[in-house]
Copies of this chain bind each other. A is one copy, B any other.
Amino acid sequence: MELLISGGTVITMDAEFRVIEDGAVLVRDDTIAEVGAGSTLAPRAVGAKTIDASGTIVMPGMINGHAHAAMSLFRGIAEDHSLDDWLQRYIFPAEGRNVTEDFVLWGTRLGVLEMLRGGITTFADMYYFEDVVAQVTHEAGIRGVLGETIVDFPAPDHKTPAAALAYAQEFIERWRNDPLVTPGVAPHSTYTLSTETLKATAALARRLGAPILIHIAEARFESERSHAKYGLSPVAYLESIGLLGPDVIGAHCIWVDKDDIATLIRRGVGAVHNPSSNMKLASGVMPVVEILASGGRVGLATDSAASNNNQDLFQEMNIAAKLQKVSRMDPRALPARQVVEMATIGGARALHLDHKIGSIEAGKQADLILIGTGATHSTPMYNVYSQLVYALNAHDVRTAIVAGRVVMENRVCLTLDKPAILEKAHEYQRKVAASLIAAPVV
């Protein structure tokens, strides 16, 4: 099966950051076979299915490095609270009352549909009933790095961390050879888990060769508690118990000092920036510039729709650039191309999948998106990276391809049933709202 995408401006995000005007990408099965000028590739692709990419930017599908997709059903249920308050008084109780397998099924469908519509072709997820998330990932034809969440208190799916770990083991063994799903385990954080559970989780992951997804140094209180309890920063504490390694994906990484950054980089930890969530919850500002300057693996993410309140990586690119500039009072900080990098090949590095995805290069998986450039808000265009970060938006994504399969074409998702998903979301909205009214969590 050959597919030729031809006529657009191809942003490769390869090592030379090649941009090919009137370029083409030839896909064979799930893999990129060739990238080059349209005039060179087209004659070689006789018989291939062709997608006319003229008037579009063709770029690597975007990589959402940290999400809780099912929480899309909680979009905007609690605002204007700090992370600690928001979790303990709103989110954890709301989850306890509402999160079932069915909730995760429909919530993940809603979240993944929004992601695909915004050009995200890979997402990293931490939630409960993660096997259901894997099923939806498969159904949607998106790529997922999926971690079953481990917490030390009763969770919606398991009453003990031991039960959750047993589930995680089965989950990883079931999905480990799937072409789209990379199954993993997600110890929630240093402040919701004992040293014992963290160690047991890391041991499980390493025994199975699975990634570890974890929130690291997100909030000031987390850093303070870690110092009070262990005499160490969250990063130093995780290092001291042997959790950090080249299989770890750490979300947030805000409350880190120079030594912590050196530790993260030495251990090959992926660091994922969530600017909207960090700003909205007033968690702080990740030192993205320092981590990148030191050679770190830095990705970009939406976090959940409960703290954002969307799954739009264009918005995160836009805000990431602006946040670094203003917080450092340096307009040159984090230029546009570097932001696009964080959303593509940088995100692949953070997820430890840069050998497979993140750039348009022969031999890589064919995860591609086409973005229309003809809208009022994106005319004129002087620089393609600037336009991606500061002018274009999720709605401009026309077509999404994952592993060579067209999953969205001209804004119609071919894999998920949008009307059914929206109807279920309305049902859950009424149920969740009633659960909050019946027993107010304030």
Q: Which residues of A contact B (CB under 8 A)?
A: 73, 75-77, 79-83, 86, 110, 113-114, 117-118, 220, 276, 278-285, 305, 308-312, 315, 318-319, 321-323, 325-333, 335-336, 374, 376-383, 386-387, 390-391, 393-395, 418, 421-422, 425-426, 428-429, 432-433
Contact = CB atoms under 8 A, between A and B. Distances in A.
Contacts of A425: 379-380
B394 A426 contact: no
Contact of A390 (B308, B382, B387): B308
Given A76-B381, A285-B326, A280 B393 contact: no
A15 to B, nearest CB: 22
19 contacts: A75-B381, A77-B382, A80-B331, A220-B329, A282-B325, A282-B330, A282-B331, A284-B326, A284-B329, A309-B386, A309-B391, A310-B377, A310-B390, A315-B315, A319-B319, A327-B327, A374-B422, A379-B425, A381-B429
A386 B79 contact: yes
A322 B76 contact: no
Nearest to A79: B386
A330 to B, nearest CB: 6
A75 B326 contact: no
Nearest to A395: B395
B81 A311 contact: no
A37 B81 CA distance: 33
A385 to B, nearest CB: 9
Given A75-B391, A279-B325, A322-B276, A379 B110 contact: yes
A82 B331 contact: yes
Contact of A322 (B110, B117, B280): B280
Nearest to A380: B429
A294 to B, nearest CB: 21
A16 B280 CA distance: 26
Given A309-B391, A335-B80, A390-B280, A75 B325 contact: no
Contact of A382 (B280, B315, B323, B429): B429
A426 B378 CA distance: 11
Given A77-B382, A310-B390, 6 more contacts: A280-B321, A281-B331, A282-B325, A284-B329, A305-B391, A310-B377
B309 A390 contact: yes
Nearest to A336: B79
A238 to B, nearest CB: 24
Given A81-B331, A315-B318, A377-B117, A393 B395 contact: yes
A390 B310 CA distance: 7
A114 B309 CA distance: 24
5 tightest A-B contacts by CB? A380-B429, A279-B322, A279-B326, A76-B386, A309-B390
Nearest to A86: B331
A407 to B, nearest CB: 14
A269 B83 CA distance: 36
Nearest to A117: B376
Give the most central of A311, A380, A387: most B CB within 10 Å.
A380
Contacts of A432: 380, 382
Given A117-B376, A323-B279, A382-B433, A76 B284 contact: no
A314 to B, nearest CB: 10
A428 B326 CA distance: 31
